Structure 1
Amino acid sequence: MNTAAWTIFTKRIPVKADIPTLYHAWTTREGLERWFLREAVFTAPDGLIRPHADFAQAGDAYLWRWHGYADDVFEAREVTEANGTDLFSFRFSGNCLVTVQLTPYDQHTLVEITQREIPEDNNPSTNLYVGCGEGWTFYLANLKSIYEGGIDLRNRDMRLQGVVVSS
């Protein structure tokens, strides 16, 4: 079995929105909380929290929390690259590297997310290849839904558990 195949994956979706709009969606608190997160805080290297509409920068720390999960479920890691136009990278679960690339395609923007450096794990309940792949698929669909039709697919009810949502 080729174990290298389980250390990286790429998900792609076309979204009918321009690149600046989608870059804002991925790199600002305001944007991320519209389609992905309950709370997205970016802190600059000098310790100052970035305002809601300010773009994240390489070297920023982030704290992310999701709808449907208690406050003790979060990611707190680092932005590794943010070019200001079409590329955003950050560390994620298991210290994986996630890169978001935005590319024009016809009248859409192709949103491509690659997660690499995934640690090997044979336990299905903790396997990041499976869990994160499922999560990114859901949230990319929600990104498309929000920016093309306005319908938010996220579960915002903490009392309702075991429904279709990122695991």
Structure 2
Amino acid sequence: MKKLSWEAFTKRIHIKTSVEKLYWCWATKEGITSWFLKDAEFLRNGAPINKSEFIQPEDTYTWFWHNWDGQEEGVILEANGKDFIKFSFAGSCDVTITIEQKEQAVLLSLTQAKIPQDEKSKLEIFYGCSNGWTFWLANLKSYIEHGILLNETEIDLRPFGLAGYEFVNM
């Protein structure tokens, strides 16, 4: 058994769909904005890529969420076009997505690694991102299997100072 640490965490979920559908959900603007983001911009050599085109290594991204005025910027580090994506996230961290066909469903694994060891990073990245990814993977399952989005898109949660830590559907 792997030892738990503050440096990385893994979240896994079985989803009844195809490997191809899950890859599309992560690897295209069209896919990632269907269940996760308000908007996304992927650039290749400084130019936007088509909303249905798969991301590639060295593409850059800017992500925009519902209910958060900030944005996340990063680089696609690896993408194989079928079942594996790795991107920079939350500063110095890496997020790895693996998608595997199992007997009854597809297993999606998400690992966020290279988390800094200072107290602020333990709270905001380890705790915050770990909770966030748990929700977003459940949202993805709900969307794929039942067509229901669980995240809040109609009520503005930004006036709540700790919204990202208190609302379960941020």
TM-score normalised over the length of structure 1? 0.90
| Cα distance change on mapping 1:4 and 1:142 into 2, 3 Å | closer
Provide the rounded CA distance (Å) in 2 between the counterparts of 1:149 and 1:108.
15
Q: Which residues of 2 match residues 123-134 of structure 1 at below 5 A?
A: 123=120, 126-134=123-131
Q: Deviations over 1:98-146 (max 9, x none)?
A: 0000001113110000011001122488431111100000000000000
Give matches, 1:12-91, under 5 Å.
12-44=12-44, 46-70=45-69, 73-91=70-88
CA distance in 1, matches of 2:4, 2:19: 31
Q: CA deviation at 1:55?
A: 0.4
Paired residues in the alignment total 161
Does the aligned pair in 1 maintain the 2:116–2:122 contact within 8 Å? no
Q: What is the RMSD computed on CA atoms of the aligned residues?
A: 1.8
Alignment deviations for residues 70-118 of structure 1 (CA, whole Å, 9 cap, x no partner): 2xx0111100000001000000003201000000111311000001100
> Partner amino acid for 1:50?
I
Moved over 4 A (4+): none
Per-residue deviation, 1:4: 7.6
Following superposition, the deviation at residue 158 of structure 1 comes to: 5.3
Query: Which secondary structure state, in structure 2, belongs to the residue aligned with residue 112 of structure 1?
Result: strand
Gaps of 5+ in 2: none
Task: Give 1:165 deviation, angstroms.
Answer: 3.1
For structure 1, list consecutive stretches of 5 or more residues without a partner in the other structure.
Answer: none
Q: Is the 8 A contact 1:135 1:165 kept in 2?
A: no
Aligned residue number for residue 105 of structure 2 = 108
Report % sequence identity: 39
- By how many angstroms is 1:28 displaced? 0.3
- Taking the aligned partners of 1:97 and 1:139, their CA distance within structure 2 comes to 17
Amino acid at match of 1:19: V
